[in-house]
Amino acid sequence: MTGGGLVVGRTALVTGAGQGIGLAIARILHEHGARVVVTDQDAALAATAAERLGGGEPVSSLGCDVTGEEAVTAAVNHAVERFGTLDILVNNAGITRDATLRRMTLADFEAVVDVHLKGTWLGVRAAAEVMRAAGSGSIINISSLSGKSGNFGQTNYSAAKAGIIGLTKAAAKELAPRGVRVNAVQPGLIRTAMTEAMPPDVFAAREADIPMKRAGEPHEVAGAVLFLASDLSSYMTGAVLEVGGGRLM
């Protein structure tokens, strides 16, 4: 998807954008005119991703561990110092540490909750400082349909993704009077390196449960994020958009 210019002249920061859905989000925002800061825990991966976005508006990259308060603040400050503003934040960074309750360690539970839930909260808080002062801004948090229904072997991931919805709605209420919108996207089964590592029979079974009978593509999640980042959704806040082919409707 190219052209359109839905976010021309705006600065966007995308976490976990070194690959997969995050990279697709960074790409579509860039294609629609945004200056983009690509962050990833792996700084080299972020730099490579930024190079892949190609020409057009400026792109910057840096390493960022979203579980660190100072690192998240530094990323937001980097965007402002480099491009003069921060208009769009996409909290996308995430990990999985799947296991049944019996086998999951406390460390695996805490790691997933820290990256997804604490990381999103730190991002919302840091961006809100900048956006509140500017009187405008759009924050998009990436949840998951597993936060709506729960997935077997994902008590950590499902809990964190459900928590992101509560965080989104609470932050939306706080920031709405200041002109800042906070929304969430809940992807379903999306074809990424992570999901393609699933056993083929498991992947096929999950696809079969989807009314549209196929997995989604990263750019289809990115399209929903672009909508929420742009003025097309100017009267939406605290909303949750499901991008799952009709699964769990």
Angle 22-49-194 from CA coordinates, rounded to 5°: 45
Q: Roughly how many angstroms between the first and final C-alpha of the chain, as a whole number?
A: 27
Kind plus residue range of the DSSP H or E element containing 185: strand 180-187
Return the residue matching tokens 């995308």.
Answer: 14
Question: For residue 187, which amino acid is it?
Answer: P
Q: Is 157 a catalytic residue?
A: yes
> What is the distance between the alpha carbons of residues 91 and 55, in angstroms, rounded to a whole number?
24
- Which tokens belong to 85? 């503003």
**How many residues does this entry show for the chain?**
249
Vertex 92: Cα angle to 102 and 227 (nearest 5): 130
Structure tokens at 77: 């400050």
- Which amino acid type is present at position 247? R
CA distance 68 to 84: 23
Contact 187/244 with Cβ under 8 angstroms? yes
Catalytic residue among 83, 109, 121, 157: 157
Enumerate the active-site residues.
157
